[in-house]
Structure 1
């Protein structure tokens, strides 16, 4: 995804700029390229700003493990799975130890949820800015062309882009998915902090009881998150039935 954004920014933007310059030079004195150049400028700005913002934010918010290659991650996963199987075959841990390990793994789960939330928010912001620029370009092109020919094609393209972007945002619901993931991550982190500080509802003298209650609450939050994801995947009528 990051490589695609870099490719679009480093290759797509210069090619678009060269195309506008070349088209203007070839049609100089024969055809008025001002409207096409204005439209191309809007597209160029949206492309550059979107790619830079996506690459920068993706690198800033992602966990360290996402910088590694897929092959390295698969190898680490296989080694960790083998080590887990061997350890499980020789050690039968008590319930308290399993609950403590569950608590110890909570920060990684919070990081994963926040990383996914950040990715969805970046997609939403990039599409939203593209939608704003395309919508702003429509009245500008309309004012430049009176009668509408030959700007009719540009207007059709802008209208189609607005429709496609609006449909994609409505179908995938990037904003809602990012909000739900962030909300779940914050709630899990709140429970983990309360457990560490031994405050309500984890202020019982028995630590095993606190860990058991913590595991129950975190699992309830994860189940609720999965239900919200299923509701977003359903059509509007299906969402009402699930609720």
Structure 2
């Protein structure tokens, strides 16, 4: 419109187009200002965020570069370990701190293998009972007493197999026995009776800790004996009556 008014000398083109040109110009200016404000806010947020500073580096490094940096860090750790000779007490403390990780690893692996073994053993017992039940279904007249007898026999076989393998009664007995013994020690320490009567507070706590740990160790040994097969497991120190 401006070029038409200047080239052809028609000033009315400006008057006719002002109602379209001016609002369009204002909308475009507002849009550009809003985009500039948004980009400035985004840049300011990226500068304030530590995580955003590491994002480009994390995504631009290749796997080879990451492995190279890891090797450099491991080499630095080895050099630092060779140049620093800790004392005996420090080595013992470091070993004590590392033992907890080893214990958790062994317990996690033991739990995983126990779950797998128990699952397979349950499948074996259920499969054996199912095979026996299916064999009993041949050449039978289907009456309600026959069906009830077969179903009841299957349930009894499953219950007997699981009870004999997992030893629920023995586990319950030994757990309750250990809990009662620990409760007895805790009550004696709290009330100051028995062997805790004449002991100072620090020695009484040390004695209580030692006895509780002994009870817990005995419980763990009994638990391991119950987890062993029947032909290899030694007889527990005490058995439920």
**TM class, shorter-length:** 0.3 to 0.5
TM-score, normalised with respect to structure 1: 0.37
Q: Which has the higher contact order (CA 8 A, sep 6+)?
A: 1
Rg (Cα) greater in structure: 2
